[in-house]
């Protein structure tokens, strides 16, 4: 069982914000601020911040059964997105002034048109994101960002200057640096943070205006450096991989079984903050390079194309960063946590599993249907896995 | 299928065809797969790809497309689709991913284990030994992602190009947005041409491309005109026949023979429409079947006809689109013309499936075809069509009392198909359809 954790402090504040995620956004909304919902790590938040929106990452709720969305969304759609829409239908996202999404996956396309058709939101935007990384795709994506910026300007009736964009880039880069600094505190054994605590911080941060989030993060980093009540030595230092792991319940089960997630390759994780936006002459160039080129989501094809490399080199290009994380964080096991019906991650499982096992990393592959029942049922398998790797 | 003996299942897999043109497809298919088997001996190139590939470019290079979305149904019809799906699943691929692609992955794995030779057991000798894999991102994620997984088994060049569908809500008349999308398509097609030149060792003949493009446009026009004839009473082209009709368009599009085939199709179906020739003695009900169909049991449509006098109109492969016209082709700039055509007209990449406008058109088709009910399969393995409930909402909002039924099934994988359950639900549905029809007739 994980050690009983002391209450109080900024980690506790983050926990409260994560458990009641919309609270702060609603407070700010009542003070006249505007809130723009978004999905996915491919969404260039700097454009939203530069337009004076609070970027608010839309999440579902694993703890609440879907009761409304089943009438609108097929059984075979991503369960996380179905939960998100269920929250929308229940009014939990009424405080949003609009919402935007990048071109992440087929389920997102379905949600986009269903939400628009049935609820007619005040503002929505679909951002095309290329699935390949040739030079022309970068040019296309840069123009996409220009169109997106123009659309936001039209909605707000206010131009976004380069100056405001640079300012937003600085703020978001500051946030990324703070999160990387926080992640450094997971390197020691035992780490100074539980994986579930880190996820709570991420959930909190993605519900706040960037300046406020950065203040909170600075305080948390300082607090954690000095903490005396951190985790005990674990039997398993784990990397968790997968889409939309947005409820600490799974990580707490891992912790209860004597393990600890010390690093991730996940949407609500390193994918959204690991790389900075470079400040280029045209700020859209920096945003293009970062949001298309640096986000390591399997929706983007990397590696072996046009016969230019071997299968092994292809795997290294696609998954080498995970190996790097595992080495840097002294990981001794990997959990592939794959959402049911998430085709883009599911296609990669055999290649990824094979690659990691060849690198000497034991792998546990679990499938989630984004319910608490799914999480609770995994305890035995996780216990056995941690037993095996410890 | 659960509950059936092997013999019963085999009997059901085929369907009695009503039209001569549908019966012509069998020999074309056999010839096509023979050509694939003999391609290397004849110095021809083959490419594994998916439906929606730019046919004119393939034809211009004489590259034979071998399509997972075609071979999956072939395996389903021969009742071996499950086997290849299971092979893919044993490799670690989820049973939730597209069963067409699981079939292809299973074949590729077997082929790999046989040292690269197509498995003898595979229908028509398999999918051949490809010279290249071509993926593109349009309609669904599997179309480009699948190719990456094939690299586990096939050491051939893989090329992917980015082709964006028009997002819901974008103004279709905005010239800047159109330029942005068309230019992207053009640049991506240029990359594809460069890749094909490298693999085949041939230079693109732009006049050959122009002619191939003209053939594809003509084919589209004839195909759509043929599908539109289904509005006649009684329906001259039932679903079990229209399921076979797209095959030449997928594999020999861009060639004059393809145009000839669809001219014959149009002529025959027009004759049937004008002479009120139906697949049933008395057409009591007309059903529209959206999208995916159970390829392992096309006889289901015969069963509906024989049991209820219900003729089914299938829209899975076209019927909603308004095709481009030949005057859109600039024969001196065929590649640019292709890119432009991709965003012209309904059913092009400007509206394909990603917009609610597409569903409004499907609802309109229900009225055009004067249907009494709508049926669709809820296919857990197809994320591209995971919007049936949305289609039903749009149908309900835009038509008058057309009942709709969604049933869990798959297009290839029989393990999720229960004949008893499906037929019971259809039988109950026909009662609902009958009641709604009577109510409409009473006014």
Q: Is A242 in a helix, a strand, or coil?
A: strand
Percent of chain B beyond pLDDT 90? 72
Q: What is the spatial distance between Cα B245 and Cα B253, in angstroms, rounded to a whole number?
A: 13
Given an 8 Å threshold on Cβ–Cβ distance, is A74 in contact with B355? Answer: no
- Percent residues over pLDDT 70 in chain A: 98
d(CA B102, CA B83): 10
What's the domain range around B417? 6-442
The answer to whether B399 and B366 are in contact (CB under 8 A) is yes
Instruction: Say how far apart CA B1 and CA A97 lie, in whole Å.
Output: 50
CA dist A384 and A375 (Å) reads 15
Model confidence at A1, in pLDDT bands (50, 70, 90)? Answer: very low
Q: Smallest CA–CA separation between B7 and chain A, in Å?
A: 32
DSSP letters for B176-221: HHHHHHHHHHHHHHHHHHHHHHHHH-----HHHHHHHHHHHHHHHH
DSSP strand pairing (A259-266 vs A333-339): unpaired
Res. B175: pLDDT tops 70:
yes
User: Closest-CA residue in chain B for A340?
Assistant: B96
Residue B108 in any domain: the answer is yes
Residue A196 has pLDDT above 70, yes or no: yes
Least confident of A85-89, B240-244, B355-359: B355-359
Record the tokens describing residue B52, joined without a space.
């929606």
Mean pLDDT on B319-328? 72
At B12 the pLDDT is: 61
pLDDT score for B263: 98
Question: What pLDDT shows up at residue B300?
Answer: 95
Stretch among A125-129, B252-256, B339-343 having the lowest mean pLDDT: B339-343
Q: Which one of B47, B92, B147, B363 would you mutate to disrupt binding with A, by most A Cβ within 10 Å of its Cβ? A: B92
Q: What percent of chain B has pLDDT over 70?
A: 93
Pair of tokens at residue A236: 């398993």
Smallest CA–CA distance, residue A383 to chain B, in Å, is: 22
Residue B1 lies in a domain: no
Is residue B384 included in any domain, yes or no? Answer: yes
> Is the per-residue pLDDT at B361 higher than 50?
yes
Residues 6+ apart with CB under 8 A from B265: B21, B222, B223, B226, B245
> Do strands B285-290 and B158-162 pair parallel, antiparallel, or not at all (unpaired)?
unpaired
Q: How many beta-carbon pairs under 8 angstroms link A with B? A: 165
* Chain A: residue whose CA lies nearest to B183: A140
**A262: distance to nearest CA of chain B, Å?**
26
| In a domain? residue B433 | yes
Distance between CA atoms of A249 and A251, rounded to whole angstroms?
A: 5
In this model, does residue A4 exceed pLDDT 70?
A: no
Q: Name the DSSP class of B197.
A: H
A369: which 2 tokens?
Answer: 């249907």
Residue B1: pLDDT band (50, 70, 90) is low
From A126, which residue of chain B is nearest by alpha-carbon distance? Answer: B167
Q: How far is B158 from chain A (nearest CA, A)?
A: 5
Which of A116, A130, A346 is closest, CB to CB, to B96?
Answer: A346
B142 touches chain A (CB under 8 A): yes
How many angstroms away from the CA of A27 is the closest CA of chain B?
31
**pLDDT reported for residue B53:** 85
Tell me the per-residue pLDDT of A135-180, one tens digit each, with 9 for 90 and over. 999 999 999 999 999 999 999 999 999 999 999 999 999 999 999 9
Q: How far apart are CA A247 and CA B133, in angstroms?
A: 39
pLDDT number for residue B400: 86
Please give the pLDDT value at position B349: 59
> CA-to-CA distance for A181 and A188, rounded, in angstroms?
13
Q: How many residues would you count in chain B?
A: 443
Residue numbers in A near B91 (CB within 8 A): 350
**Count of the separate structural domains present in chain B:** 1
Is the distance from CB of A25 to CB of A227 less than 8 angstroms?
no
The per-residue pLDDT for range A199-218, each reduced to its tens digit, is 999 999 999 999 999 999 99
Angstrom distance (rounded) from CA B110 to CA B114: 6
Beta strands in A8-102 (DSSP E): 34-38, 53-57, 98-102
Question: Which residues numbered 350-369 in B keep a CB inside 8 Å of some CB on A?
Answer: 354-356, 359
Q: Is residue B118 part of a domain?
A: yes
Closest CA to A378 of A284, A213, A193, A252: A252
Closest listed residue to residue B427, CA positions, set B306, B332, B272: B306
Q: pLDDT at residue A7 above 90?
A: no
Give B96-137 pLDDT, tens digit per residue: 999 999 999 999 999 999 999 988 889 999 999 999 999 998
Of the listed ranges B166-170, B195-199, B294-298, B337-341, the one predicted with least confidence: B166-170
Tell me whether B394 touches chain A (CB under 8 Å).
yes
| Residues B228 and B370: beta-carbon distance below 8 Å | no
Q: What is the pLDDT of residues A103-116, one digit of tens each?
A: 999 999 999 999 99
Nearest to B158 among A124, A299, A305 (CB): A305
- Cα–Cα distance, B145 to A342 (Å, whole number): 12
- Assess if residue B53 is contained within a domain: yes
pLDDT at B153 over 50: yes
* pLDDT value for A263: 98
* Spatial separation of the C-alpha atoms in residues B269 and B343, rounded to whole Å: 29
* pLDDT tens column, A354-364: 999 999 999 99
Cis check for the bond before A190: say yes or no (omega within 30 of 0). Answer: yes
| Yes or no, beta carbons of A140 and B378 under 8 Å apart | no
Complex confidence, ipTM: 0.94
Q: How confident is the model at residue B91 (pLDDT cuts 50, 70, 90)?
A: very high
Give the closest of B159, B379, B390 to A114, CB-based: B390
pLDDT tens-digit readout, A313-370: 999 999 999 999 999 999 999 999 999 999 999 999 999 999 999 999 999 999 999 9
What is the pLDDT, as a whole number, of residue B17?
Answer: 86
Q: Which B positions 310-349 lie with beta carbon below 8 A of chain A?
A: none
Q: Judging by DSSP bridges, how do beta strands A236-242 and A124-127 pair with one another?
A: unpaired
In a domain, B330, yes or no: yes
Q: Please give the span between the terminal C-alpha atoms of chain B, in angstroms, as a whole number.
A: 42
Query: pLDDT for B393-406, tens place per residue?
Result: 999 999 988 999 99
Contact B393 A72 (CB under 8 A): yes
Residue A91: pLDDT above 50? yes
Q: Are B51 and B270 in contact (CB under 8 A)?
A: no
Residue A297 CA: distances (Å) to CA of A81, A131, A243, A301, B138: 17, 10, 9, 9, 18
In tens, the pLDDT along B255-279 reads: 999 999 999 999 999 999 999 999 9
Query: If residue B288 lies in a helix (H) or strand (E), which one and from where to where?
Result: strand B285-290
CA distance A30 to chain B (A): 29
């Amino acid at each position: 069982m994980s050690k009983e954790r002391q209450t109080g402090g900024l980690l506790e504040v983050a926990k409260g914000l994560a458990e009641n995620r919309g609270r702060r956004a609603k407070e700010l909304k009542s003070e006249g601020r505007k809130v723009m919902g978004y999905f996915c790590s491919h969404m260039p938040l700097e454009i939203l911040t530069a337009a004076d929106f609070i970027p608010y990452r839309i999440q579902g709720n694993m703890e609440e059964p879907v009761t409304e969305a089943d009438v609108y969304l097929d059984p075979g759609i991503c369960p996380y997105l179905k939960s998100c829409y269920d929250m929308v239908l229940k009014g939990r996202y009424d405080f949003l002034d609009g919402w935007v999404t990048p071109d992440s996956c087929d389920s997102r396309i379905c949600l986009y048109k269903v939400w628009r058709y049935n609820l007619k939101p005040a503002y929505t935007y679909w951002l095309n994101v290329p699935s390949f990384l040739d030079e022309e795709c970068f040019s296309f994506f840069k123009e996409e960002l220009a169109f997106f910026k123009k659309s936001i300007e039209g909605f707000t009736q206010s131009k976004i200057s380069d100056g405001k964009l640079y300012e937003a880039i600085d703020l978001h880069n500051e946030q990324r640096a703070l999160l990387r600094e926080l992640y450094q505190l997971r390197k020691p054994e035992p780490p100074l943070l539980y994986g579930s605590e880190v996820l709570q911080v991420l959930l909190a941060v993605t519900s706040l205006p960037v300046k406020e989030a950065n203040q909170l993060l600075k305080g948390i980093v300082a607090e954690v450096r000095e903490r005396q009540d951190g985790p005990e030595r674990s039997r398993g230092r784990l990397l968790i991989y997968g889409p939309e792991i947005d409820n600490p319940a799974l990580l707490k089960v891992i912790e209860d079984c004597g393990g600890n997630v010390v690093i991730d390759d996940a949407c609500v994780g390193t994918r959204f903050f690991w790389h900075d936006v470079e400040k280029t002459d045209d700020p859209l160039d920096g945003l293009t390079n970062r949001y298309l080129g640096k986000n390591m989501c399997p929706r983007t094809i990397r590696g072996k194309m046009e016969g230019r490399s071997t299968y092994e080199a292809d795997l290294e290009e696609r998954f080498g960063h995970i190996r790097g994380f595992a080495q840097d964080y002294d990981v001794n096991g990997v959990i592939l946590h794959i959402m049911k019906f998430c085709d883009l991650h599911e296609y990669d499982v055999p290649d990824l599993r094979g690659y990691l096992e060849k690198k000497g990393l034991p792998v546990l592959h679990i499938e989630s249907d984004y319910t608490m029942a799914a999480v609770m049922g995994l305890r035995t398998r996780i216990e056995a896995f941690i037993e095996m790797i410890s | 299928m659960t509950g059936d003996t092997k013999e019963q299942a085999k009997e059901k897999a085929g369907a009695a065809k009503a039209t001569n043109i549908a019966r012509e497809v069998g020999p074309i298919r056999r010839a096509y797969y023979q050509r694939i088997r003999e391609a290397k001996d004849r110095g021809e190139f083959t490419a594994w790809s998916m439906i929606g590939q730019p046919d004119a470019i393939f034809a211009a290079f004489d590259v034979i497309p071998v399509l997972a979305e075609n071979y999956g149904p072939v395996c389903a019809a021969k009742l071996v689709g499950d086997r290849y799906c299971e092979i893919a699943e044993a490799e670690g691929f989820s049973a939730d991913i597209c069963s067409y692609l699981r079939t292809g992955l299973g074949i590729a794995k077997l082929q790999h284990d046989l040292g690269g030779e197509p498995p003898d057991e595979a229908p028509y000798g398999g999918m051949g030994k490809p010279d290249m894999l071509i993926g593109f991102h349009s309609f669904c994620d599997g179309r480009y992602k699948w190719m990456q997984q094939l690299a586990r088994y096939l050491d051939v060049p893989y090329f992917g190009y980015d082709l964006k569908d028009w997002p819901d809500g974008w103004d279709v008349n905005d010239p800047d947005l159109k330029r942005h999308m068309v230019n992207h398509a053009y640049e991506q097609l240029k990359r594809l041409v460069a890749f094909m030149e490298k693999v085949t060792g041939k230079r693109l003949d732009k006049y050959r491309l122009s002619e191939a493009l003209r053939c594809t446009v003509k084919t589209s026009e004839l195909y759509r005109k043929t599908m539109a004839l289904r509005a006649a009473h009684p329906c001259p082209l039932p679903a079990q026949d229209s399921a076979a009709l797209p095959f030449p368009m997928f594999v020999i599009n861009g060639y004059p023979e393809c145009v000839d085939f669809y001219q014959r199709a149009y002529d025959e179906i027009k004759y049937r429409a004008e002479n009120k020739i139906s697949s049933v003695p008395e057409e009591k009900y007309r059903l529209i079947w959206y999208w995916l169909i159970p390829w392992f049991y096309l006889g289901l449509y015969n069963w509906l006809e024989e049991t209820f006098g219900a003729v089914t109109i299938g829209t899975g492969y076209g019927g909603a689109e308004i095709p481009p016209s030949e005057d859109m082709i600039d024969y001196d700039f065929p590649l640019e013309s292709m890119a432009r055509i991709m965003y012209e007209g309904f059913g092009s990449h400007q509206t394909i499936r990603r917009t609610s406008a597409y569903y409004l058109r499907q609802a309109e088709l229900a009225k055009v075809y004067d249907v009494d009910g709508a049926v669709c399969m809820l296919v857990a393995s197809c994320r591209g069509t995971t919007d049936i409930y949305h289609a039903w909402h749009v149908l309900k909002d835009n038509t008058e009392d057309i009942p709709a039924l969604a049933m869990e099934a798959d297009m290839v994988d029989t393990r999720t198909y229960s004949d008893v359950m499906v037929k019971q639900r259809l039988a109950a549905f026909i009662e609902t359809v009958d009641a709604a029809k009577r109510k409409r007739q009473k006014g």
